[in-house]
Amino acid sequence: MIIVHTGDGKGKTTAAIGLAVRAFGSGLKVLILQFIKGGQTYGELDALKLLPIEIRQCGRGFTSSGNFDEHKAAAAETLKVAREEILSGAWDMIILDEINYAVKFALITEAEMLDLLKICPPELHLVLTGRNATPELIDAADLVTEMTLVKHPFQRGVKAQRGIEF
C-alpha cells in the first residue's frame, strides 16, 4: 500500500511512527528515512531505540538553517538510499518522513518522488509524510489522511513542549 499523511495539522510523523510500531508488532521489518530532520534528538528516536525499527536521520534540519546546496545534496542522497532500500527486499514497510517538504522546498523533484512509487514492489508498504502532498501523489496513493489544524498552542505563543512536539 502507498500511504500518505499530509495536511497543516500536527501528527503526520507521529501517525507514521504509530504505523511502524503496529507493523513491528505484526512481525514486519520497518525502515524510517527522514528527509529533513537531522542533527537533533527527538523523543521518537530514543523510543525507537528500544525496538528493532531502524530510523535514519538523513536531513540537515530545517531548510531555513544552513546552506541550501547542503540540504539539496542530503535530500538527493536520501532519495538514492530510498531507491536502494525499496528495491532491496529487506523491508516490509518504509516510511519516507517529510518527503513532501523535500518536494515543496525543491530539494528533490515531484517526478523523483513519484518514481519511487513506480518501483515499489506490491508487497512493500510505503508511507510518505509532510505537508503539501501533491495532487499526483494523492491520486497515486491507496490511503491518504489529511491532518487539519484546528487549534495549536503555538498560536498563543506557547513554545514547543518536550514529549509533544519533539
DSSP output for 22-86: HHHHTT--EEEEESS--SS--HHHHHHTTTT-EEEE-S-S-TTSS-HHHHHHHHHHHHHHHHHHH
Look at residue 55 and tell me if it is in a domain.
yes
Work out how many domains the chain is built from and give that number.
1
Q: What residues make up the domain containing 21?
A: 2-156
Q: What is the CATH number of the domain that holds 64?
A: 3.40.50.300
Q: Is the dihedral of CA 62, 135, 140, 2 positive or negative?
A: positive
- Looking at residue 55, what is its pLDDT? 93
Look at residue 44 and tell me if it is in a domain.
yes
Look at residue 161 and tell me if it is in a domain.
no
Beta-bridge partner residues of 128: 4, 96
The secondary structure of residue 133, as a DSSP letter, is -
Residue located via cell numbers 521518537: 44
Look at residue 165 and tell me if it is in a domain.
no
pLDDT, one tens digit per residue, over 81-137 is 999 999 999 999 999 999 999 999 999 999 999 999 999 999 999 999 999 999 999
Look at residue 162 and tell me if it is in a domain.
no
Residue 111 grid cell: 517526478
124/86 Cα distance (integer angstroms) = 8
pTM of the model: 0.91
- Residue 49 — pLDDT band, cuts 50, 70, 90? confident
